[in-house]
Amino acid sequence: MLEYKKLKPEVRMERTALLIILFLAAVLRFWHYSDFSLSNDELSALNRLRFDTFSELVKGGFYVDGHPGGIQVFLWYWVKLFGNTEASIRFPFVVFGILAVYMSYLVAGKMFGRVAGLFTAASLAFLQFPLTYSQIARPYGSGLLFSLMMVYFWLNIISFKNDGQYENRDVRLKDWVGFTISLSLCMYNHYFSFLLALVAGLLGLFLIDRKRMPKYLLCGFAAVLLFIPHIGITLNHLSYEGVGLWLGKPGIEWPLNHIEFVFNDSFYMILLFLVVSVIISNRSVQPPSNQGMFFIALILFLAPMIIGFFYSYFVNPVLQHPVLIFSFPFLVMMLFMAGGNEFGKIQQSTLAIFLFLGITVTVGVNKYYHSQHFGEFKEIASTSLKWEQEFNQDSIQKIIVVNSPWYLKYYFERLGQETKYDYCAIGEEQDFKAIDSIARLRNKPYLLFAWTKLVASGVEDRIRANYPGIVKSIQFGKLSGITLFSLKQGAEFRKGQNFTILSQATADTSSIQHMDSLKEYSGAVEMNLDEYISTKAIHIVAEVNVFCKDSLPAALLALSADAGEKNQIIWTATPIDEVCSPNIWQTIRLTADLTGKQCEGARLKVYVWNKGKRSFEYSRLKVRIYRYENHSPFNSSQEIWGDLNSEE
């Protein structure tokens, strides 16, 4: 305490500001960190910890996973000591995230001055990107810390100052050791933190004093030696398609989208950063005389993105927002590069306002703690049990789309109850055919359908061909949901969605129409959509009644919207043969969503396509168009939470 009082007032204020930033970072990260459901990736990691020996962990835990094994090994030992609850497994990663805020202060301060260090640390404290990925037990919060540690020791070793000169001092042993260890930690943590370490290491070859080159190379060699046990596993990972199985190639707009994502996808947040950057730049009395550090930060930020982009485009898609968390702090540092070292009253008041507004945007405007950031498993498990008790589990057919049944079993065991789904799908085409087959049996009055990952459009429509009513439904953003369908009771829509019907049209309703080998297309329902341009979003519902005798027709209920001959806005269809049962009249349903902008000049057409030119009958081909009142399907931040539909 006495030492603190002896410091200059400006230094005391700077340290006080840093402590406040770290305190706020801790509060934001620990707040409700164990309340929300484990994500798909966290449950996948836990599922791959259920081994008795280390060799089994290697073979089944991360040899086939596509990520380095460092975090999986850490979790294996951690869970043995502290258990596998949300609070337990997330705790160390929250701590990693808080320490990363502190390391960002040290790195930015070394590169651009103490003011840049404080504003960078403040940014990492409240931005949603580092906040979210510091609250889950995955290698992002840890990798952010290890990457910043690596760069900190690397800067000490190259001793390259902002004026383009080298510091005339010896490098401490702890810097050499720290650099070697942090390099190795980056390599074992994630392949993109590995990539950042590689970029920094290669860049250092051009920056370091030649006298230090032998020790520098020795550090790199030592880190490689530490990674040797993992090399065979890494070679296997390089041949593994991983997320490339479902992740598409990035478009040319991806880098700009990523920068928007970094700043909460918020115009207000971007504006805040730009204004603050200008204010502290104008107030700096020590503007940088050389842009050397700027180009270092620029390379450290851009290189992983560029390499990841081209690798994803030409080899295997791996580029996602979270894999660039290790390099994103350098973008923030560049915004504050002209802050200098004077932490005067203007800088102090600007930092206070910056923290207040930044937290307000993240927590208040973006509703961080009331948003669904990952797929839901906890509530789906508890809701399944609740509905089984309410509607009698023997009366409910249960289907779920999930990567592994164990993900739900984890929560059933935590809740002290057990249940089984009749069918667990992973979302492939054959799964949806199986779901159709189960629904067509109609052997129970209710069908519960839950999804924990994105499913193909139209799956619920095909279920509702046999279970037309919605009794209860909970949607967790656009990321997961659970719905109880009914044969006889329920509503057409989920309560709370507040659809308002705008118009409807029908065709061929007066009599039964016949399709055969000579008739490939039915009469169509056609509508102009121009009048809905001013509507935020519309919901289109197409229906037709179908009857076939012995064999199912290879036919489709199709919907298209075109704005001119060469501008098809949407074409979608549901296969009648996969939905319809023989010898009964059955309603086939197809839905689609369009924005008001897409409606400009568009003409809607709904028809039956007798693709297989088979014989069957249909009637009551009709279309209804609704307006979304409370939310739009194209805006996830407005998705409805909670139990949306009571029994009707």
Q: Kindly report, residue by residue over 584-596, the tens digit of the pLDDT.
A: 888 888 888 888 8
Average pLDDT over residues 353-361: 96
- Mean pLDDT value across residues 299-325: 92
**In sequence order, what are the beta bridge partners of 470?**
485, 491
Q: What is the pLDDT of residue 283?
A: 53
Mean pLDDT of all residues in 270-278 = 94
Q: What is the average pLDDT across 138-145?
A: 97
CA–CA gap between residue 90 and residue 463 (Å, rounded): 38
Domain boundary, last residue among 335, 369, 403: 369
**pLDDT for the residue numbered 509:** 53
Task: Examine the pLDDT at 274 and tell me if it is beyond 90.
Answer: yes
- What is the per-residue pLDDT for 586? 83
Q: Given 3-state DSSP classes, what are the helix, strand and coil percentages for the chain, each rounded to the nearest 5?
A: 50, 15, 30
Token pair 């001013």 is found at: 534
Same domain, 142 and 158: yes
Instruction: Write down the mean pLDDT value for the chain.
Output: 86
pLDDT, one tens digit per residue, over 219-259 is 999 999 999 999 999 888 887 665 545 567 888 999 999 99
pLDDT at site 579: 75
Local confidence band at 578 (pLDDT 50, 70, 90 cut-offs) = confident
Mean pLDDT computed over 141-155: 97
**502-526 pLDDT per residue, tens:** 556 566 555 788 888 889 898 888 8
Among candidate residues 207, 148, 208, 203, the one with its CA nearest the CA of residue 178:
148
What are the structure tokens assigned to 522, written together?
């039915």
CB within 8 Å of 156: residues ≥ 6 apart: 110, 171, 172, 175, 179
User: Is the domain of 356 the same as that of 236?
Assistant: yes
Are 507 and 476 in the same domain?
Answer: no
DSSP H/E element including 195:
helix 191-207
- 3-state SS assignment for residue 185: helix
Domain-ending residue, one of 342, 369, 396? 369
Return the H-helix or E-strand segment holding 502.
strand 499-507
Residues 450 and 532 occupy one common structural domain = no
Is there a single domain that holds both residue 463 and residue 518?
no
Asked if 487 and 507 sit in the same domain, the reply is no
Contact of 449 with 399, CB cutoff 8 Å: yes
If asked whether residues 352 and 391 sit together in one domain, one would say: no
CA dist 120 and 383 (Å) reads 42
Same domain? 284 vs 419: no
pLDDT of 113 strictly over 80: yes
pLDDT of residue 344: 87
Tell me what pLDDT residue 634 has. Answer: 47
Secondary structure string (H, E, C) spanning 3-51 = HHHHCCHHHHHHHHHHHHHHHHHHHHHHCCCCCCCCCHHHHHHHHCCCC
In angstroms, rounded to a whole number, what is the distance separating the alpha carbons of residues 371 and 111?
A: 35
Q: Residue 330 and residue 324: Cα distance in Å, rounded?
A: 11
484 membership: H or E segment, kind and range = strand 480-486
Four-residue CA torsion sign, 351, 355, 358, 360:
negative
Identify the domain boundary among 346, 369, 392.
369
The rounded distance, in Å, linking the Cα atoms of 635 and 637 is: 6
pLDDT at 431 over 80: no
Range of the domain at 507: 499-629
pLDDT in tens, 452-500: 987 876 788 888 888 888 898 888 888 899 999 998 876 666 655 555 5
Comparing 77-86, 335-344, 525-534, 620-629, which segment has the lowest mean pLDDT?
620-629
* Numbers of helices and strands, H then E, in the chain: 23, 14
* Contact assessment for residue 347 and residue 283, using Cβ atoms and an 8 Å cutoff: yes
Residue 647: band (very low, low, confident or very high) from pLDDT cuts 50, 70, 90? very low
Q: Summarize the confidence of residues 68-94 as an average pLDDT.
A: 96
Q: What is the pLDDT of residue 169?
A: 64
- The full DSSP string for 266-328 is -HHHHHHHHHHHHHHHHH-SS--S--HHHHHHHHHHHHHHHHHHHHHHHT-----GGGGTTTT
Question: Which range among 136-140, 290-294, 532-536 has the greatest average pLDDT?
Answer: 136-140
The reply to whether 424 and 327 lie within a common domain is no
pLDDT over threshold 50, residue 648: no
Most confident of 192-206, 423-437, 541-555, 583-597: 192-206
Q: Do residues 119 and 358 touch, judged by C-beta distance below 8 A?
A: no
Average pLDDT over every residue of 607-630: 84
Are residues 519 and 577 both part of a single domain? yes
Sign of CA dihedral 224, 230, 236, 237: negative
Reported as a pLDDT band with limits 50, 70 and 90, residue 316 is confident
DSSP for 565-583 reads TT-EEEEEEEEHHHHPPTT
Residue 98 has a CB neighbour count (10 Å cut-off) of 22
Q: What percent of the chain has pLDDT over 70?
A: 87
Q: Are residues 333 and 463 in the same domain?
A: no
How far is 71 from 397, CA to CA, in rounded Å? 39
Please state which of the ranges 166-170, 287-291, 396-400, 639-643 shows the lowest mean pLDDT.
639-643
Provide the domain count of the chain: 3
Q: What average pLDDT does range 301-306 have in this prediction? A: 96
3-state secondary structure of 238: helix
DSSP state of 363: I
In the chain, the percentage of residues whose pLDDT exceeds 90 is: 50
Looking at the structure, do residues 73 and 138 belong to the same domain, yes or no? yes
pLDDT average, residue stretch 435-450: 87
497 Cβ contact list (under 8 Å, min separation 6) = 628, 629, 630, 631, 640, 644
Q: Using CA atoms, how far apart are residues 447 and 454, in angstroms rounded to an integer?
A: 19
pLDDT score of 19 more than 90: yes
pTM, two decimal places: 0.85
Is the distance from CB of 57 to CB of 76 less than 8 angstroms? yes
Query: In this model, does residue 75 exceed pLDDT 70?
Result: yes
Q: From CA 2, how far away is CA 419, in angstroms rounded?
A: 62
Predicted confidence at residue 282, as pLDDT, reads 63
The CA-CA-CA angle for residues 117, 120, 123, to 5°, reads 150
